[in-house]
Structure 1
Amino acid sequence: MAASSSLSATLSLFPLCNPSSSIKPRHSLSFSLQRLKPPSSIRSRVSSSIVAAAPEALHSPPETLDGYESSTGFEVEEKSEGSGPSPLAAGDDVKLFYGGGSPVLLRGPFTQLHSSPHEFSSVSQEKLIIRNTFGENLVGILHEAGSTELVILCHGFRSSKESKTILNLADALTVENISVLRFDFAGNGDSEGSFQYGNYWREVEDLRAVILHFLRQKRETRAIVGHSKGGNVVLLYASKYHDISKIINISGRFYMERGIEERLGKEFMHRIKEDGFIDVRDKMGRIIYRVTEKSLMDRLRTDMHNACLSIDQNCGVLTIHGSEDDIVPSEDALEFAKLIANHKLHIIEGADHRYLSHKFQLANVLLEFIRSN
């Protein structure tokens, strides 16, 4: 089956608050974010309607992502590569982004990605509890931004609706007046159920329960977005159910047999056959989750190749991947591009698995795809 794919290495920053903005790709590979005071002649030429995002604190609460966390127990956001000292003096609420071309000046107020609690006055948040087909209560947060259609965000392995990647995407979408639902799969976050390794198709049914909930409310799902393991879940959903027109796979894994040895150790298959399970421990020796033979085989039997071939040609699929992803190699993204008929591929140069230093590029690529016909 022929695959239609568009591959681009970088995408320049554009304001998230202007839906009519056209995207003009540049070849800028890094940005430097600083507080600067430009001369008045420059400042006068900057539109006050442009909104940028404030940098996040260097340290944030402990959080695991796809089974990994920093050695300190805290996430540390990567520093953006600068392009030398600024010739402008500091002290004003103007931020300068250096790229491959002319500097772009952005004036405050600056919307924070992410804000907690949410700082957008036009957006309300509501806690939802949705029962899945297994009788478990799934907990989600609905961001009402004025649209009847909504986008559903799906988190990754051992993560939750509170992950920074998910929160940043929720903020980017609600700024554009797109309502969002982020929720926890069963056994994760605030949802009921026990955590299980694997569990891909069961999480597909969790997502199905959420989509049907909104259909009963006469609300359509505009797109489903999944990060990491969530990327696999949204693709599997599209292969089984054909009622969503746009699927966004962010850093999903194609080769399901990879990444297991890094978590479970060498000879994991022999150990699990002998003992029936493997306990995965943190650096302090504490058990964080158990992998059974059944749950391991659930992962290994999840066939992304056939799933890709089963996605309807009328369903548009976007795969986004970071070139520096050290958890799921970017070559996995190329396999999705080969097999899915109606597919676009975007590699973000320099981005890792979490996109914390590339949140703007990630949001821009996602928004362009969602807005497209």
Structure 2
Amino acid sequence: MTSELSAATFKLADQAALSPAQQQLEQTLLTFIRKHRQQPDTGLFVIHGDAGTGKSAVLAAAFSRLQALSRSEKPNDLQNTTNYLVVNHNEMLKIYKRLAGDDPDLRKKDFQKPTPLINRLTKTDTMADVVFIDEAHLLLTQPDRYNKFTGHNQLTELIKHSRVVVLVFDTRQVLKLKSYWQTSDLAPFLALYPHETFNLDEQFRMNGNADVVNWIDQFTQGNLSPKPVDKQFDFKVFSDGQPMYDLIRQRDHEVSLSRLVATADFPYVVNHGTWYVTAGSLKIPWDKVNLTDDPWALRSETLNEVGSIYTIQGFDLNYAGVVLGPSVGYDAATDTVVVHPERYEDQEAFKNRDDLGNLAPLKAQIIFNSINVLMKRGRYGLYLYAVDPALRQRLLAL
């Protein structure tokens, strides 16, 4: 793969670049596949890990190795197996398909969105040997007419048509009620099928030390702590969005892959004109619908846009400038970060459900999850601007 592509994505690394924990995971995973591929019950292998812990990197490395064995002319126990990697995320799917062109053992057809694969396997009444699911927390947990999914849970349907299912799962990256997962929601699946779990907890994306990662973790639980200092990670809070954007442009000129991103707090209607994010004196367009095969972060013109959780989730940037919109506020009485779901503009994320009980805490969690996704994009730096004046002043005071 090109150095640009490697730098721009979720660091799909070769075997030598995998950490000891990642290499152990890859070996454990392939051993599990060999053990369960010919068993009567579907085997489930669950990989847990926070944003930036290298889940997609090791998943892609293991899938490439599996396909090399499947397509090898030398007889082996995984030769001629039928395997897929699915992800319910358009921008990540583009990266996987591009990587297929750089790997002789991969084909673009190996990578699918879940609904088309489910529908095809159902129609032909066939079984896949192994299905890898990246970002499994984005799988639908209810029917969705827009996405042509008529079942009730995409994981259930994929298990029906697979001998082994490998899924990457992080409940802190759930971004919509229609794909709402809690860790406990996996329990019924694990109770029914033979399974193993593996936890990745080492931060690979962010060069920041443990204090930086902990600060973000605390923030996304509503807690504020002193701003960490780390010579290897540039962490700045801004009183206005324009100088933050100017610095992002400078960083992009210096090292590339530096972008503005924002919480979904600014109006946007697909294919209806240009919509803007406002951050103090800065007014800049939201990202446009991307009809190209190039992921948003790889296109040079997107330096003049603001990315969303849907264009940046799962990707690496070198520097990320994050605009915290009107839904993210501050409670001086408790000195905590608070969120206001009624100000969140992504109404598709809050599409009502009558099977989840009280939706208020779930909506708040989705907003905090989106902040976690955005704040953990940058390898070398995080820049923040808060639209809410009280939160902005409190952040500057830190």
TM-score between both structures, scaled by the size of structure 1: 0.28
The answer to which structure has the higher helix fraction is 2
